[in-house]
Amino acid sequence: MIGDLEELVTCESYSADLEAVARSAKVVGALGRRLLGAEPEYIVIDGVTHLRWSFGTPRVLMLGHHDTVWPIGTLRTHPWSVVDGVAKGPGVFDMKSGLVQIFHALAGLPDLDGVTILVTGDEEVGSITSRGLIEESARGLAAAFVTEASADGGALKTGRKGTSNYEVQVYGRAAHAGLEPERGINAGVELAHQILAVAALGSGATTVVPTVLSGGTTLNTVPAQARVGVDVRVPTLAEQARVDRAVRELAPVLDGSRLEVSGGPNRPPLETAMSASLFALAQRVAAALGQPELTEASVGGASDGNFTAGIGVPTLDGLGGVGGGAHADHEHVIVAEMEPRTALLRGLVQAVLS
């Protein structure tokens, strides 16, 4: 397994570099072909390469992604290594170890009938080209198992917040800031009002965070335009709808100013009810394997599992590598946990298919 993980990690696959993603898809495809004895279907959408294997009538979806957040050349500063049982390298935790575990888990099954594997190439940038493919592959199935990295301490992810992204664009009127500022309509001041209004929409587990700001042209000009990006994370579909209505109902404060709101929901939440039965099953499988009692966590980050849960498919996430540091310099996987997690995944698939 470690050799296979090294092969995937050392083939860099930065989401924005479509040629790199295509090269990575070939490496992932070769790994699946060797372990499963079957060629994948290569699906290229708007230049992004995804892979899918299907065996018989689908009942279970194994879901992962092979793109990473790390720009090409990161291996020079974050080289592949295994030291004291800890593997490091770009994407090792998020989520190339999860891909290795999928293939090794399935390779140990006597029959793959009923299994579909989907490995997407744009998860880290919002799954813009793959969402339809994910929903098509998952619809009507008994279970979706997502081998994204585990939560802290190896916890499975039974809840994920849904995500929405907006841009609020403000239009005012330019004027000389020193000679006649009163003739202008200050888009920056209007934007400040809107930022406060947006930030006030957060409540409880729902976060609404103004992020990227821009506006104005020169130091001595009343800004005619300004904008802010807004990141929204919600625990329920009801909250996602509430925030969406509120953002679209934003109204200008300054006379003569004008607002435009773009964007909207990206991923629905993975609500814990969609994971409860599969987590209970995972606990039974782990106990039968003699593994320690499993733990669960709800997290703010989204994954492609949000899409499968959003169309009503029972979904269990966080079945991939155990370690830490996703998207960070200290990204790592604990090697000794790969075999037990692979066995757990294999047992889950067997239990659902039987």
213 and 293 both lie in a single domain: no
In a shared domain, residues 131 and 152: yes
Catalytic residue of the set 4, 12, 123, 271: 123
- 168 shares a domain with 152: no
**Range(s) of the domain holding residue 195:** 162-267
Query: Do 62 and 24 belong together in one domain?
Result: yes
Residues 125, 26, single domain; the answer is yes
Q: Is 124 a catalytic residue?
A: no
Residues 65, 176 within the same domain? no
CATH number of the domain that residue 111 is part of:
3.40.630.10
Catalytic option among 6, 12, 67, 244: 67
259 and 297 part of one domain: no
Decide which of 243, 267, 291 is a domain's last residue. Answer: 267
- Name the domain count of the chain: 2
pLDDT in tens, the chain (354 residues): 999 999 999 999 999 999 999 999 999 999 999 999 999 999 999 999 999 999 999 999 999 999 999 999 999 999 999 999 999 999 999 999 999 999 999 999 999 999 999 999 999 999 999 999 999 999 999 999 999 999 999 999 999 999 999 999 999 999 999 999 999 999 999 999 999 999 999 999 999 999 999 999 999 999 999 999 999 999 999 999 999 999 999 999 999 999 999 999 999 999 999 999 999 999 999 999 999 999 999 999 899 999 999 999 999 999 999 999 999 999 999 999 999 999 999 999 999 999
Residues 177 and 280 in one domain: no
CATH of the domain at 178: 3.30.70.360
Of 238, 267, 296, the one marking the end of a domain is 267
For 80-128, the pLDDT digits (tens) are 999 999 999 999 999 999 999 999 999 999 999 999 999 999 999 999 9
Q: Are residues 289 and 153 in the same domain?
A: yes
337 is annotated as an active-site residue: no
User: At which of 235, 267, 299 does a domain end?
Assistant: 267
Is there a single domain that holds both residue 29 and residue 11?
Answer: yes
Number of Cβ within a 10 Å radius of residue 204: 8
Backbone angles phi, psi at 223, to 5 degrees: -65, 135
Q: Are residues 124 and 223 in the same domain?
A: no
| In a shared domain, residues 130 and 17 | yes
pLDDT in tens, 199-230: 999 999 999 999 999 999 999 999 999 999 99
